Amino acid sequence: MLGLLSIASGTLTTRAEGGTRAGSLRSAVMALDTRGWLDRYTAALGSPPITDEDVEKLLALAGIAAHASERKAAPVTCYLAARSGVPIVEALATAQRLADELAEPGVPHDAD
């Protein structure tokens, strides 16, 4: 959880609770577009590039999670899907099924 945001010298710095540096972003201009970032990041991880189709599916998965719960569930849901090893299409179907179940009127569910 991010506890502190500060801007100094054109750089947005986030600090996690406890004061450790979580990351730094240029506030004025983004260095790369989405495709550029994803290609560079997967290369840095030693992974093959992600397809545009898989990007769209992951964005849909994140959208389902964000609308069915709190927004912060979106990136964690994508991580959990990747960690599970199930195909993206299966993870997407599972998330949609869960969201549909939660949206049914009169069906009790746990609220966090």
pLDDT computed for residue 87 by the predictor: 96
pLDDT computed for residue 24 by the predictor: 55
Q: Do 94 and 77 meet the contact criterion of CB atoms below 8 Å apart? A: no
pLDDT computed for residue 6 by the predictor: 43
Instruction: Give yes or no for residue 58 having a pLDDT over 70.
Output: yes
pLDDT computed for residue 27 by the predictor: 45
d(CA 12, CA 74): 22
pLDDT computed for residue 28 by the predictor: 43
Whole-prediction pTM: 0.66
d(CA 60, CA 77): 11
pLDDT computed for residue 104 by the predictor: 86
Beta partners for residue 9, in sequence order:
none
